[in-house]
């Protein structure tokens, strides 16, 4: 018998509270209390950010439990299921927890399924069929939608990975303002960046490690190694107690959600893409401060948006012009618009403006009236048949990569600092 039991948990929270990572932390601590051993870091796997039934970050968790006997296994399963049932937000209509127990090898089918949950839409039936196929045991609370993510968190291939240290609040502070020392966040960022990243957005005085929901998390530090996030945690100062911390290994900030596609016409809602195309019309600003432009290729076109929360990134997008060649990164919502996460300007179109001709005295001339040519206001010279000159405009944007700020970055979106070739 394989002495490793994989445990996957998902869909335990609601928009009003709780957090699947926190339930995972409580479950793991309870198991340790009863003498169980865990292997490796627990996993936090983010699924498709545009899935219709997601709660906030759409994250599932899993961990590996070391077991020595069948009796020990059944006791652990009972403890885990009781904790999930007691702690989940079952009173909420859209909270449908699922738990997976798996005792076997991670098959190619499991890996492929797990990637599909990040890049596509997967059904409860899909998850259930695969669980039966590989011999995984599943437990559904209410409709059990959580088995989708629970199975994915077990089978996900983490060739590229990051780590997140999550610090949790004491229950008495849920819903209250988080008390994190801003100066210590600055110090932590200065001392640990880029081994930790997306800690803050200095332009907006925004602490990016701090959630803005009533969940149990006080802060989350993202980084390249467990050592980096633990070191950063030691620098931070808070004015409220920390109940516990957990370091998760994760697919966050890897761009694993993005599918490279050659034809814009084949892009679907609720999926995320990397696509190339040409700006079809100059960006416009719509109500709410959102910036919209159309990207086209030979197959079709799609509207792309830099929404108001992306702040200064919108200023980059405003400078795009017809004919600019771009590679765009982002996801498509239910309205069919591509939500931009970053762009690469591959080629800039030449932009010209027309100006009146220059007089022989060196001054630029003025129009003498309709069909009357031009007149120099300096020397009085008249030019009956003159034409306007086309002058190339120096663009306020250069070729290269541009990204949204940390305050607007999705969990899966890869910051440029993680890919030195883009800097």
Comparing CA positions, the residue from 61, 82, 65, 62 lying closest to residue 73 is: 65
pLDDT at 149 > cutoff 90: yes
| Secondary structure (H, E, C), 398-418 | CCEEEECCHHHCCCCCCCHHH
417 Cβ partners below 8 Å, 6+ apart? 193, 194, 197, 423
Q: What is the mean pLDDT of residues 331-336?
A: 93
141-158 burial code (b ≥16 CB/10 A, e <16): bbebbbbbbbbbbbbbee
* Confidence at residue 2, expressed as pLDDT on a 0 to 100 scale: 55
For 4-155, the fitting CATH number among 3.40.50.1370, 3.20.190.10, 3.30.70.2200, 3.90.70.10 is 3.30.70.2200
pLDDT band, very low/low/confident/very high, at 423 (cuts 50, 70, 90)? very low
**Which range (76-80, 324-328, 377-381) has the least confidence?**
377-381
Asked whether 39 and 66 are in contact (CB, 8 A), the reply is yes
Distance CA 52, CA 65 (A): 32
Both tokens assigned to 126: 């899909």
244 vs 57, higher pLDDT:
244
pLDDT at 265 > cutoff 90: yes
For strand 162-169 and strand 242-250, is the pairing parallel, antiparallel, or unpaired? antiparallel
Q: What is the mean pLDDT of residues 216-231?
A: 98
* Confidence at residue 422, expressed as pLDDT on a 0 to 100 scale: 47
Q: CA–CA distance from 192 to each of 75, 166, 180, 221 (Å)?
A: 42, 17, 17, 11
pLDDT at 54 > cutoff 80: no
* Confidence at residue 420, expressed as pLDDT on a 0 to 100 scale: 65
- Residue length of the chain: 423
Distance CA 304, CA 297 (A): 13
Interval 10-45: pLDDT, tens: 999 988 889 999 999 999 999 999 999 999 999 999
pLDDT at 191 > cutoff 70: yes
* Helices assigned H by DSSP within 253-361: 313-318
User: Residue 74, Cβ neighbours under 10 Å: how many?
Assistant: 11
For 162-250, the fitting CATH number among 3.90.600.20, 1.10.3210.10, 3.30.70.580, 3.40.190.10 is 3.90.600.20
SS3 113: helix
pLDDT band, very low/low/confident/very high, at 1 (cuts 50, 70, 90)? very low
Question: Average pLDDT, whole number, for the chain?
Answer: 94
* Confidence at residue 388, expressed as pLDDT on a 0 to 100 scale: 87
Considering the entire predicted model, what is its pTM? 0.92
Distance CA 252, CA 55 (A): 16
Interval 366-411: pLDDT, tens: 998 888 899 999 998 989 888 888 999 999 999 999 999 999 999 9
8 vs 369, higher pLDDT:
8
pLDDT band, very low/low/confident/very high, at 47 (cuts 50, 70, 90)? very high
For the chain, the domains span: 4-155, 162-250, 258-350+396-422
* Confidence at residue 187, expressed as pLDDT on a 0 to 100 scale: 97
- Examine domains 4-155 and 162-250 and report if their fold is the same: no
Q: CA–CA distance from 73 to each of 4, 80, 192 (Å)?
A: 10, 11, 41
Interval 86-110: pLDDT, tens: 999 999 999 999 999 999 999 999 9
pLDDT band, very low/low/confident/very high, at 120 (cuts 50, 70, 90)? very high
Asked whether 102 and 113 are in contact (CB, 8 A), the reply is no
* Confidence at residue 384, expressed as pLDDT on a 0 to 100 scale: 84
* Confidence at residue 421, expressed as pLDDT on a 0 to 100 scale: 45
* Confidence at residue 83, expressed as pLDDT on a 0 to 100 scale: 97
- Which CATH code is given to the segment(s) 258-350+396-422? 2.40.50.1010
């Amino acid at each position: 018998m394989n002495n490793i039991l994989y445990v996957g948990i998902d869909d335990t929270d609601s928009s009003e509270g709780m957090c699947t990572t926190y339930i995972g932390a409580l479950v793991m601590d309870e198991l340790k209390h009863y003498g169980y051993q865990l292997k490796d870091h627990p996993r936090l796997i983010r699924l498709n950010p545009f899935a219709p039934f997601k709660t906030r970050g759409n994250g599932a968790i899993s961990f590996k439990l070391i077991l020595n006997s069948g009796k020990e296994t059944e006791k652990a399963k009972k403890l885990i299921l009781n904790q999930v049932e007691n702690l989940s937000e079952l009173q909420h209509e859209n909270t449908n927890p699922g738990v997976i127990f798996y005792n076997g090898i991670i098959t190619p089918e499991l890996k492929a399924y797990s990637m599909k949950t990040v890049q596509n839409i997967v059904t409860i039936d899909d998850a259930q069929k695969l669980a039966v196929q590989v011999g995984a045991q599943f437990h559904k609370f209410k409709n059990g939608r959580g088995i989708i993510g629970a199975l994915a968190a077990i089978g996900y291939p983490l060739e590229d990975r990051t780590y997140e240290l999550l610090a949790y609040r004491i229950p008495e502070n849920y819903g209250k303002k988080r008390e994190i020392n801003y100066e210590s966040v600055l110090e932590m960022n200065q001392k640990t960046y880029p081994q930790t990243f997306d800690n803050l957005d200095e332009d907006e005085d925004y602490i990016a490690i701090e959630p803005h929901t009533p969940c149990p998390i006080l802060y989350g530090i993202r980084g390249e190694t467990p050592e980096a996030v633990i070191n950063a945690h030691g620098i931070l100062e808070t004015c409220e107690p920390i109940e516990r911390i957990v370091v998760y290994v994760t697919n966050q900030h890897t761009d694993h959600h993005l599918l490279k596609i050659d034809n814009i016409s084949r892009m679907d809602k609720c999926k995320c893409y990397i696509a190339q195309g040409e700006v079809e019309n100059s960006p416009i600003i719509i109500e709410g401060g959102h910036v919209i432009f159309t990207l086209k290729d030979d197959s079709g076109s799609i509207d792309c948006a830099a929404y108001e929360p992306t702040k200064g990134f919108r200023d980059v997008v405003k400078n795009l012009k017809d004919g600019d060649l771009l590679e765009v990164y982002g996801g498509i919502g239910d309205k069919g618009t591509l939500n931009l996460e970053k762009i690469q300007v591959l080629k800039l179109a030449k932009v010209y403006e027309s100006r009146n001709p220059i007089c022989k005295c060196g001054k630029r001339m003025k129009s003498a009236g309709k069909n009357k040519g031009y007149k120099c206001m300096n020397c009085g010279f008249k030019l009956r048949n003159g034409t306007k000159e086309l002058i190339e405009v120096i663009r306020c944007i250069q070729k290269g990569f541009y990204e949204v700020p940390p305050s607007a970055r999705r969990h899966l979106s890869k910051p440029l600092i993680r890919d030195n070739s883009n800097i």
